[in-house]
Amino acid sequence: MLLIYCPYCEEERSELEFRQAGDAHIARPTTMTEMSDEDFEAFFFLRDNVKGLTFERWRHLNGCGRFFNAARDTVSDKFLTTYKAGLPRPDVSTLRPAASAPVETYEATESDAK
């Protein structure tokens, strides 16, 4: 089972308590009412869907309920760090590289249950 560190609760909790909430650090337009439909569509729906390091919003839905940000590798599914909402992106050069070990999933551990 994947464990995610909540920067507010200051502990790792089961992934089942969390929900991904889209990309982090998206600049909200200040002139939303003046945007064309095409520009609004691009802002609201279109995302980069990066392969590798990405910054995402997460919510500790079944815990403290707060939103926070995470740096996650989309290939290995490893969280490199989590940090409180409102803080700038962490310096990626200080983050540890993603592990090459296979990702342990709930399904993999469930099949081993007796």
Footprint on this chain of Zn ion (rule: CB under 5 A): 6, 8-9, 60, 63-64
Phi-psi region of 65 (alpha: psi -120 to 50; beta: other; left: phi over 0): left
Kindly tell me which of 63 and 90 has the beta carbon lying closer to Zn ion. Answer: 63
Kindly tell me which of 5 and 43 has the beta carbon lying closer to Zn ion. Answer: 5
CB of 79: closest distance to Zn ion in angstroms?
Answer: 14
Task: Give how far Cα 22 sits from Cα of 61, 76, 90, Å.
Answer: 14, 18, 18
CB of 56: closest distance to Zn ion in angstroms?
Answer: 16
Other C-beta atoms closer than 10 Å to the C-beta of 70 total: 20
d(CA 58, CA 21): 5
Kindly tell me which of 8 and 40 has the beta carbon lying closer to Zn ion. Answer: 8
CB of 6: closest distance to Zn ion in angstroms?
Answer: 3
